[in-house]
Amino acid sequence: MAKTIPFQLPRALGTVLWGISIALSWMWGLGLFFSVQFTTQFGLFGLLTFAIPNFLGLLIFGLVTHHLARRETGSESLGKFFTSWSRPFRLVFFLYQLLTITLTIFAFIRYAWQPLGLRPELLYLPLTMLVILSAAILFGEEFDIKRIKFSHGALFLLLAPAMVILSVYTFEKGTGPLAFPKLPTNDWNYWGYAVPIIIGFLVGPWLDLQQWQRAIQMHRERVSIAAGYIIGSALFLGLILWHGLTTLWALNWGAAEFIRLGITGHNYGQEVLTMVFSGGTRWTFAAYAIFIGVCILTTLDSGYIALKWFLQSNASTSNHPIFSLVPPKLLTSPIPAFLLAGIVAVAGVMLRFELEFFMIFYATFFVGYSILAITRCFILSPANAIPQVKMFCIGSIAVVIFSFGYFLRSPSLQIVGSLLPLGYVIWLLLKPSSSEEFVGDTTELDSAVPSAILARPESAISMASPVTVLDPGASQHSLAGHFEDKWFVYTLIATYADTNSVGNVYFGMYAMWVGKARELFFNRVMPKFNLKSTPFYILTRSFEHKFVRETREFETVQVKIRVAGYNRKFATLEHEIYDSLGQLLGKGKQSLLFVSSSDYKMLDIPPDVYSAFIAHT
């Protein structure tokens, strides 16, 4: 029989479909409605100021991730890079995605639904929010990242005719008789907006999970990331310019009357196109509703899929105790985050907030993290971790400064608020003590000296021999090991049997010492464990060790081991090995799993192990 060859999408068509998906996913509430707002303020020049940095930021992200994916071979190279690269930014990724979803839901309700004037709002607001969430969740569950390009391609086939209908309508009606008044672009007020826009959008995609997930999946499918993002960013630029130019047309036909005064005293016009087309023919209103609906839906379903991917990947690799207490499906589902975003969005609408209130964070708080993220792609040290507390503080200060500048109409404060995180990150990276600021899991702790070693008198070291001897106080410790705080400590003396042909301790002995320390640790915390009657076995899932220094015969060695973390299925032990001078010889970790002693099926952490380990975490 002839083999059935699975259908493979032509690479060129796949690239185009991914380009469409990239463009639509980036047409979220911010890009969609702020293009209208900035056009009402500064005209065509304002539209270009907003659109071009947005376009360049998306394009540069695609080109750089294409380069990152090709630094190593294999279809999973970018995925592996993201896993290690994103570890210090996990919370920031989540907050960025949550705010994106919140802003998009808010913008749709505030500027596409609320202007229609349906009453009572207390009834329609939550119902509208639930409809949006339901549609996003439905599409997110139906189309995963492998199929999302097909759903977005189909939705684009709805979007394009709607744009044609609106374009024909505006062309037939022609240019209005009166030009609308716009603000000047040669003063500080303009630059108070332009500088944050340029900074925020040039680095914005780097914290967007949707874009990272797309780039990783494109590389898996052997689709050129660069080509996909060239098509996607160009299409996105066309959509933004079309929306802005349609706004210019509407303003010249009297839509300026719909510009209103907000609670901050600023003029806002994000909903002028909604007002214009809702007052036109049924066809124009339906076409604009399709345009807005597709842009919103393709952002929210992308956000759902990306957030689900992010939560599941972190839950499967994290050892935090919370993962053993909360049902996994609840932790890995984006639905609670979407509900929270919807509630915050509805509250913002009821309080008459504006889009700019959410935008402030993208121009200030996230800027520093984005710059660090980009730096970490190319400079592994010292930017291999982030000083979390300092970054949070500087981001918060920047938000406050920018907010004061916006509310008080002080462009200088707005500019300072946007530049502050950028300047601070540059300072962190370049100052002389930068290596101390970026202490992470990969930093060597060579200078760490156990307190027991520091307290040892010099007379404890034999001056007649080049090798060191045990601390006199060590004789008070059990031969089976002892606890120092959370660490279980086992002390031994390396002998001839531990060495290789050149006199150094053989590399495999370090793992054997850790294994012996682990068994003694188990014996200490679970003294009633009986191998013949136990209902479970403890197996080693993985083991890793980093060698730092060598040691030799007759050297006193301390092996320290502790419970570093656990989740519902796995426990992680961490170990460190020191010589008698307190010098770090090596460190590492191991992951344990638990199986039934009768059929070797994997088990949750047994209660006996949980109760024994919990006191030592």
Output helix, strand, coil percentages for the chain, rounded to the nearest 5. Answer: 60, 10, 25
Would you state the pLDDT for residue 445?
A: 34
Here the tokens at position 108 are 């749709």
DSSP code string of 28-50: -HHHHHHHHHHHHHHHHHHHHHH
Average pLDDT, the chain: 84
Would you state the pLDDT for residue 380?
A: 53
pLDDT bracket for residue 498 (50, 70, 90) = confident
Would you state the pLDDT for residue 434?
A: 57
Task: Give Cβ neighbours of residue 176 (< 8 Å, ≥ 6 apart).
Answer: 249, 251, 252, 253, 254
Mean pLDDT, residues 514-530: 87
The fraction of the chain above a pLDDT of 90, given in percent, is 52
Judged against a pLDDT cut of 70, whether residue 5 lies above it is answered with no
Q: Which of 212, 285, 214, 229 is nearest to 58 (CA)?
A: 229
Task: Give Cβ neighbours of residue 360 (< 8 Å, ≥ 6 apart).
Answer: 399, 402, 403, 406
Question: Does residue 34 contact residue 18 with C-beta atoms inside 8 Å?
Answer: no
Q: Over the stretch 410-456, which tens digit does the pLDDT of each residue have?
A: 999 999 999 999 999 988 888 766 555 554 433 333 333 343 333 33
Alpha helices in 260-326 (DSSP H): 272-278, 282-317
Q: Which of 13, 97, 17 is nearest to 369 (CA)?
A: 97
Highest-scoring range by mean pLDDT, 3-17, 377-391, 515-529: 515-529
Q: Over the stretch 332-384, which tens digit does the pLDDT of each residue have?
A: 889 999 999 999 999 999 999 999 999 999 999 999 999 988 988 887 544 44
Mean pLDDT, residues 201-212: 94
Judged against a pLDDT cut of 60, whether residue 217 lies above it is answered with yes
The fraction of the chain above a pLDDT of 70, given in percent, is 86
Judged against a pLDDT cut of 80, whether residue 616 lies above it is answered with no
Looking at per-residue confidence, does 472 or 247 come out higher?
247
DSSP, res 112: I
Pick the CATH number of 451-614 from 3.40.50.720, 3.30.300.30, 3.40.50.300, 3.10.129.10: 3.10.129.10
Judged against a pLDDT cut of 80, whether residue 102 lies above it is answered with yes
Mean pLDDT, residues 495-509: 84
Mean pLDDT, residues 75-86: 88
Diameter of the chain measured on Cα atoms:
102
Here the tokens at position 224 are 């050129």
Would you state the pLDDT for residue 324?
A: 57
pLDDT bracket for residue 523 (50, 70, 90) = confident
Task: Find out whether the peptide bond into 120 is cis, omega within 30 degrees of 0.
Answer: yes
Other beta carbons within 10 Å of 31: 23
pLDDT bracket for residue 468 (50, 70, 90) = very low
Judged against a pLDDT cut of 80, whether residue 30 lies above it is answered with yes
Would you state the pLDDT for residue 206?
A: 94
Judged against a pLDDT cut of 50, whether residue 98 lies above it is answered with yes
Would you state the pLDDT for residue 294?
A: 95
DSSP, res 554: T
Going from N- to C-terminal start, the domains of the chain cover 11-357, 364-433, 451-614
Q: Which of 54-68, 194-208, 233-247, 482-496 has the lowest mean pLDDT?
A: 482-496
Would you state the pLDDT for residue 534?
A: 84
Would you state the pLDDT for residue 176?
A: 64
Angstrom CA distances, 322 to 94, 307, 571, stand at: 17, 19, 13
Q: Over the stretch 311-324, which tens digit does the pLDDT of each residue have?
A: 888 776 555 555 55
Give how far the C-alpha of residue 544 lies from the chain's centroid of Cα atoms, to the nearest Å.
Answer: 26
Secondary structure in 3-state letters for 456-494: CCHHHCCCCCCCCCCCHHHHHCCCCCEEECCEEEEEEEC
